[in-house]
Structure 1
Amino acid sequence: MTVTVIDVTTEELLRSREELLQRLRLTPDELRERVRSEVATSDERDALQRLDEISFLLGE
């Protein structure tokens, strides 16, 4: 099995997070609350997963 490694910079991760939140027009807390309350769209749930991945990669 071959593993593909993707190199991203801290700046790219931060920019990706900012663009994601701007597109959703939500704060991270608002997004988490929507998911917790089970009113989030599938796009919002996917976005939260991506935000969590970005936070992990940033060591937050």
Structure 2
Amino acid sequence: MDSVLVEKITRLVLAKLEERPTTQPLTPEELRRWQDISASIQGTKAGGQVTFYRYNQ
């Protein structure tokens, strides 16, 4: 395999990955689910405004 081509492709891929963040805010549905899970662990309903992030897949 052409090592120069592999290097160019690798640099392009890495540059593209750096362009966008690796996390984004949870959707309202994901946030509700997370709060339900958190509340069940704590034994109470969670309240307040909290921002959670998830990794892009």
TM-score when normalising by structure 2 = 0.38
- Which has the larger share of strand? 2
Q: Which has the larger radius of gyration?
A: 2
TM-score when normalising by structure 1 = 0.37
